[in-house]
């Protein structure tokens, strides 16, 4: 919401009657009170410093009344668009029909939801075709940063990837390998890399079906002269839980604990945190996506916190790639202004960095 305020302010200050539309959660095309945007309307009013009319439906009588009552510079927020099955329908005609009803509420469409531009949904794609459309300042800012990450980035260029699964990051690894100087691997996905190198990983998260793919990336990196930096040590726990016993072990000793093969790695170790931090601080461009461990559990948050701290010290562009990474830095006490940029769309950022075509950008003419 805060990232959208500049666009909304610009429209309000020019006297536009602003109808705000958005998503929340996955309510499966039917109203669900826990996903209502009513609290969003209240918070948006506070951020804008003016009343925001809330419509309790998407394109029904409530929305019609809210829009009809707007005067120049006024703002209305419609209920969660995903309460209407047309928003996420797989059938093009159904999405187009819903978009046509939304389009009847306005003369132009400003698309500013970067976090959904990778989705072909009615309010993202079909609405942009139904009305004269443009990107807002949030999308423009995100694309400026992404261009700096992909087109002639300042070097050294380091990418830090974490999160649970290698399979979620395969596309971005493949696309970025020829573009970066170093690739740092943490999170649950690190254990598939360690296993590919012959290390025992106990009961740690392992995608055995990705071992050959990972071996291929390791070989490709060597061929390109790109450093793939893997952990030196990990925090091994007796179980998954905040109350679990845990010890730090080098990567060749993960099963050398009281729990043997049942032990599982839940964070990078302190030596790895220091190693990764050195690479990050020594880079001019850094992109980070994915926590280094189970940061939601205090005993396993140190690795993620070390990466976040190092990113605040980058002499250049340091980017937090949205999603869990953005949630982690805020949960760990960092403020947004400590970083060069925090993306509002983790999935959209990753798909852009994978080189994929994003329908919400293509329809605006922003991807050629």
46 is in an annotated binding site: no
350 is in an annotated binding site: no
Q: Average pLDDT for residues 332-336, to the nearest whole number?
A: 94
Read off the pLDDT of residues 7-43 as tens digits, 9 standing for 90 and up: 999 999 999 999 999 999 999 899 999 999 999 999 9
Q: Average pLDDT for residues 282-309, to the nearest whole number?
A: 96
With 0.95 as the threshold, say if the pTM is over it.
no
Place of tokens 């003419």: 365
119 is in an annotated binding site: yes
| Rounded Cα gap, residues 119 and 153, in angstroms | 27
Whole-number Cα distances in Å, 139 to 1, 4, 242, 293, 307: 13, 9, 38, 30, 26
Confidence of residue 167 (pLDDT cuts 50, 70, 90): confident
Please check the confidence at residue 310 and state whether its pLDDT lies above 50.
Answer: yes
165 is in an annotated binding site: no
DSSP code for 50:
S
Give residue limits of the domains in the chain: 2-107, 142-354
Percent of residues, the chain, with pLDDT higher than 70 = 99
25 is in an annotated binding site: yes
Greatest pairwise CA separation for the chain in angstroms? 70
Q: What is the DSSP string of 292-317?
A: SS-TTSGGG-HHHHHHHHHHTT-SSE
Whole-number Cα distances in Å, 60 to 25, 79, 309: 21, 10, 48
Give the architecture-level CATH label for domain 2-107: 3-Layer(aba) Sandwich (3.40)
Confidence of residue 367 (pLDDT cuts 50, 70, 90): low
pLDDT at 347: 87
What are the residues facing 248 on neighbouring strands?
A: 235
pLDDT at 19: 98
Read off the pLDDT of residues 68-81 as tens digits, 9 standing for 90 and up: 999 999 999 999 99
265 is in an annotated binding site: yes
| Cβ–Cβ < 8 Å for 110, 11 | yes
Place of tokens 């974490």: 162
If one compares 252 and 323, the residue with the highest pLDDT of the two is 252
| Rounded Cα gap, residues 165 and 209, in angstroms | 11
Please check the confidence at residue 302 and state whether its pLDDT lies above 50.
Answer: yes
| Cβ–Cβ < 8 Å for 117, 348 | yes
335 is in an annotated binding site: no
Peptide bond into 156 cis (omega under 30): yes
pLDDT at 338: 95
Q: What is the mean pLDDT of the chain?
A: 95
Please indicate whether the domains covering 2-107 and 142-354 agree at the CATH topology level. Answer: yes
Topology given in CATH for the domain delimited by 142-354: Rossmann fold (3.40.50)
DSSP code for 3:
G
| Cβ–Cβ < 8 Å for 21, 59 | no
Read off the pLDDT of residues 184-231 as tens digits, 9 standing for 90 and up: 999 999 999 999 999 999 999 999 999 999 999 999 999 999 999 999
Q: What is the DSSP string of 215-229?
A: HHHHHHHHHHT-EEE
pLDDT at 368: 45
Please check the confidence at residue 143 and state whether its pLDDT lies above 60.
Answer: yes
82 is in an annotated binding site: yes
164 CB burial (10 A radius; 0-12, 13-18, 19+): middle
Tokens of 366: 């922003």
| Cβ–Cβ < 8 Å for 289, 318 | no
23 is in an annotated binding site: yes
322 is in an annotated binding site: yes
């Amino acid at each position: 919401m805060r990232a959208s305020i500049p666009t909304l302010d610009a429209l309000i200050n020019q006297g536009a009657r602003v109808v705000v539309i958005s998503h929340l959660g996955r309510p499966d095309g039917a109203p669900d009170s826990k996903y209502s945007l009513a609290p969003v309307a209240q918070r948006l009013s506070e951020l804008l410093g003016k009343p925001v009319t809330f419509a309790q439906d998407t394109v029904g009588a409530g929305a019609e009344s809210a829009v009809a009552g707007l005067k120049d510079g006024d703002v209305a927020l419609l209920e969660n668009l995903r309460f209407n099955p047309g928003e996420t329908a797989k059938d093009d005609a159904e999405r187009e029909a819903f978009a046509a009803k939304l389009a009847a509420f306005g003369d132009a469409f400003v698309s500013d939801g970067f976090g959904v531009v990778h989705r072909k949904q009615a309010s993202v794609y079909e609405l942009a075709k139904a009305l004269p459309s443009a990107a807002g300042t949030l999308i423009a800012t995100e694309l400026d940063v992404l261009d700096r990450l992909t087109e002639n980035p300042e070097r050294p260029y380091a990418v830090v990837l974490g999160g649970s699964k290698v399979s979620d990051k395969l596309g971005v690894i493949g696309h970025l390998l020829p573009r970066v100087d170093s690739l740092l691997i943490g999170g649950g996905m690190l254990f598939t890399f360690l296993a590919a190198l012959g290390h025992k990983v106990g009961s740690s998260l392992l995608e055995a079906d990705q071992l050959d793919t990972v071996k291929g990336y390791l070989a490709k990196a060597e061929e390109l002269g790109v450093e793939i930096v893997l952990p030196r040590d990990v925090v091994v726990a007796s179980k998954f839980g905040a109350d679990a016993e845990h010890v730090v072990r080098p990567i060749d000793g993960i099963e050398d604990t009281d729990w043997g093969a049942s032990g599982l790695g839940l964070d990078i170790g302190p030596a790895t945190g220091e190693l990764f931090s050195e690479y990050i601080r020594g880079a001019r461009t850094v992109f980070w996506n994915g926590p280094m461990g189970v940061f939601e559990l205090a005993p396993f948050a140190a690795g993620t916190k070390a990466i976040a701290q190092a990113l605040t010290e980058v002499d250049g562009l340091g980017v937090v790639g949205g999603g869990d990474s953005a949630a982690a830095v805020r949960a760990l006490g960092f403020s947004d202004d400590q970083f060069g940029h925090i993306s509002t769309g983790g999935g959209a950022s990753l798909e852009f960095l994978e080189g994929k075509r994003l329908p919400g950008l293509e329809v605006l003419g922003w991807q050629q």
